[in-house]
Chains A and B, each alone.
Chain A
Amino acid sequence: MARIGVFICHCGENIGRTVDCPAVSAAAVRMPGVVHSVDYKYMCSDPGQQMIKKAIVEMKLTGVVVAACSPRMHERTFRAAAAEAGLNPFLLEMANLREHCSWVHADKAAATQKAIDLVRVMVAKARRDRALRPIRVPVEPTALVVGGGIAGIQAALDIAAGGKKVVLVERGPSIGGHMARLSETFPTLDCSQCILTPRMVEAASHPNITLMTYSEVESVEGFVGNFTVTVRHKARYVDPAKCTGCGDCFNKCPLKNIPNEFDAGLGMRRAIYVPFPQAVPNKPVIDAAHCTMLQKGKCGLCAKICPRGAIDYKDQDSLVKVKVGAVVLATGFQLWDHAAYGEYGGGRLADVIDGFAFERLASASGPTGGLIKRPSDGKEPKTIVFLQCCGSRDDKAGKKYCSKICCMYTAKHAMLYRHKVHDGRAVVFYMDVRAAGKGYEEFVRRALSDDGAEYVRGRVSRITRKQDGTLVVRGADTLAGRPVTIEADLVVLADAVVPRPGSEKLAQIFGVGYDQDGFYSEAHPKLRPVETAAAGVFLAGACQAPKDIPESVAQASASAAKVLGLFANPELEREPIIARVNRATCAHCRACISACPYGAAKDFDVLDRAGKVLRTVVDVNEGLCQGCGTCAAVCRSHSVDLDGFTGEQIHAELNALL
């Protein structure tokens, strides 16, 4: 038999002024299951809590209802008190007499009646409460970082510095990401590779970091603290254990004219290659799509030349399973394909390039050795037009959002160009210059005043190419209110920042939400900016939204702090509000599997003793379930129930109400 104690708080005058607390107490003691009822000035005070603890012990209470403020205020307090008196904390419920009653009603009779109703509802619920134990799950103190750009490298280094192991997975043959491609960085103009490469080397040599390049995440099982991640090692055709990175192979490879992705297609690479000289690991891979040996079985020159016998044409993809407790997604971004803008040449004009191509032209280690030469004929351009917001802030043909980094890098481009070509003309078409950041506004001002960049406010409507290769840029100067036409030798489009291809698939693998543009969703836009809806999966860098380097690094360190916080305890403790399946009545219609936001509802085979499958039902993974109860509501036969909010409890609450 239930033995419920009801404790009614006056909250000084806060409840007592409008609710007749002794009358509520008198009504409560007559409710079914209630053996004790008392009202007191301040239930949350030490004497108030003592009163509850004493009653639990002396009256042998099996459940408690504290009628006081909002449970959001003091539920923890009272549950802790109940636990101290030996009562399972989940056998205590709160009726909200303050925020939901005395503070919002003036009529004492009506407020008192409502208070009695609210107490009756919670008594009905408490009578059907079951003791619940917090769920404890062990934590595997190894982190997976997906993406080897600056965000991923930073997160990996910070976690490793905290003494935990990290597996860093990178899709390409080298870590470094886009930052390795940049010439110089705003607003300080320090050389990108000079500040990045030491970190790449540190990541590769750190004893706590395992690097997996040329690898992709294939699938994930498990939940926070206990993920098993399957990683696909793509075939490199070069045994990294034997290879010394001498470079003989890629100097001899007869295929010389494969556009190098790293150089935005402006430079060439071989079929066996490292993407750039400072690559980490500095060991080549064979591009199977181009290699004559792999395509036609002829050539084999690299294998002949390799002094260590590291070339293996029979190499195959392999799958590796890693056990990790937390994941940092740092998959970064790429530039939007401006082919959608037919008026800008639709991607067909060789001298209309994107920002990365310009970075490679300006980079000392780039295909032109840092000389600004236009792609079509290698001439030094005397006029460059930079177009901002190419695809950004355009909800018709492009993206609705602002890509955030382009105002700054365009100012940088204009500056770098003017430093290299003193008699050149840099014209920037812009919508607004957004330069909020430390030293950013000053940087843009410098581009204008010291480096003579010409800023024109307005959009470009058309880019055409004249017979002699000159580009004619037609647009509007909206400040002067007149059309402008500029003849340019090169046009640089500040294409919108978009997520990497495949980012949505990866989000689905990890159960992370993403917005309409494919950027990953944080758990809360203000207060949980690095967490995701999937417990134990964190975000770093531009995979979440367009970000510059300092922001990406800051978020990477923040996610590392979250990971280290998670790893600080050997076990995780979770609220035991989770769904349970009645296997005897589950018809396996799978509606709950479709509905579960966390992938916690899964098929489960009921086996006989010989291991034969008798039938398949649904089971809920305790680690993944977050307790929303959506599964319970879509289950037509009520074979799924939610601890803490069971059908029986809600039924009783409704019956108590009316």
Chain B
Amino acid sequence: MKTEKADVPTPTTFEPRITAFVCNWCTYAGADLAGTSRLQYAPNLRIIKLPCTGRIDPLFVLKAFENGADAVLVSGCHPGDCHYTSGNYHARRRWTLFRKLLALTGIGDDRLFFSWVSAAEGQKFADLVNDVTAKVRKAGPFQAAHPGRKA
């Protein structure tokens, strides 16, 4: 007797591609700590290291989406902890306005994530990557119809 299983099409597994822009002093070091603590997390994230979140031009985020990222994560030092005293404060202002603009034009908060992860927060980093990956997996591929993506 034939089982029904063979008739069910195998669902194509969607593996989200997530680009992360992180600062060298806090989040990059936090990711290092996740490693030295051997915390396991989803392999979908790729880090671009910068000295400071203050260095991140919104164009970097647009480029990542344009190139096919399903989500973007920006992460740096907690307020008050910036290695450069205020780079993260400048970044925060920029993101407050930029995320509003992206949300209005069809890139919502299931695609664009922001966090503070300190050098001591290895666990937070691992949890963050897992959570972001799960959310993007649920949201599905960044719609090809979005004007911000390369055809």
Contact = CB atoms under 8 A, between A and B. Distances in A.
Do chains A and B make direct contact within the complex (CB under 8 angstroms)?
Answer: yes
Interface of A: 70, 72, 96, 98-101, 103-107, 110-111, 113-114, 117-118, 121, 513, 521, 533, 577, 595, 597-598, 626-630, 632-634, 638, 642, 644-645, 647, 650-651, 653-655, 657-658
Given A118-B46, A626-B84, A633 B41 contact: no
A653 B29 contact: no
A336 B83 CA distance: 32
A114 B46 contact: yes
B142 to A, nearest CB: 11
A513 B29 CA distance: 24
A577 B31 contact: no
B67 A72 contact: no
Contacts of B34: 99, 104
Interface of B is mostly: mixed
Contacts of B31: 99-100
Which 6 pairs across A and B sit closest by C-beta, in order of nearness? Answer: A99-B35, A629-B55, A630-B54, A628-B84, A658-B67, A103-B35
Given A100-B31, A633-B55, 13 more contacts: A99-B31, A104-B34, A104-B35, A114-B43, A521-B85, A597-B84, A629-B55, A630-B54, A634-B90, A654-B19, A654-B60, A655-B67, A657-B48
Greatest chain B CB density within 10 A among A521, A595, A642, A657 is at A657
Contacts of A642: 51, 55
Given A657-B67, A658-B68, A628 B35 contact: no
A629 B64 CA distance: 19
Interface string B78-96: 0000011111001100100
Contacts of A72: 28-29, 32
Contacts of A645: 50-51, 55
A96 B20 CA distance: 14
B38 interface: yes
Contacts of A657: 19, 46, 48, 64, 67, 69
Interface in B27-84: 28-29, 31-32, 34-36, 38-41, 43, 46-48, 50-52, 54-57, 60, 63-64, 67-69, 83-84
Interface residues on B, range: 35 or more
B126 interface: yes
A262 to B, nearest CB: 37
B17 to A, nearest CB: 6
A628 B32 contact: no
Given A104-B39, A111-B43, A628-B84, A658 B51 contact: no
Contact of B48 (A98, A111, A121, A630): A121
Contacts of B38: 103-104
Which of A98, A521, A577, A630: most chain B Cβ within 10 A?
A: A630
A277 to B, nearest CB: 44
A72 B47 CA distance: 15
Contacts of A121: 46, 48
Nearest to B55: A629
B54 A654 contact: no
29 contacts: A72-B32, A99-B35, A99-B36, A100-B32, A104-B34, A104-B35, A105-B40, A595-B54, A597-B85, A626-B84, A628-B51, A628-B55, A628-B84, A629-B52, A630-B87, A630-B90, A630-B91, A632-B55, A633-B56, A633-B94, A634-B90, A638-B57, A655-B63, A657-B46, A657-B69, A658-B17, A658-B19, A658-B68, A658-B69
Contacts of A638: 57
Nearest to B17: A658
A101 B31 CA distance: 10
B94 to A, nearest CB: 7
A393 B89 CA distance: 28
Nearest to A653: B48
A654 B56 contact: no
A651 B39 contact: no
A533 B55 contact: no
Interface centre among A99, A101, A106 (most CB of B within 10 A): A99
B43 A105 contact: yes
B50 A629 contact: yes
Given A100-B31, A633-B94, A650 B46 contact: no
Nearest to B90: A630
Most buried by B among A597, A634, A654: A654
Contacts of A100: 31-32, 35, 47
Contacts of A650: 48, 50, 60
Nearest to B34: A104
A658 B90 contact: no
A242 to B, nearest CB: 48
A70 B86 CA distance: 25
Given A513-B85, A630-B52, A103 B90 contact: no
Contacts of A655: 63, 67
Contacts of B17: 658
B64 A103 contact: no
A99 B32 contact: yes
Nearest to A634: B90
Nearest to A633: B57
A613 to B, nearest CB: 30
A70 B27 CA distance: 13
Which has the most chain B C-beta neighbours within 10 Å: A107, A629, A653? A629
A96 B36 CA distance: 12
Nearest to A595: B90
Given A72-B29, A628-B52, A633-B94, A654 B47 contact: no
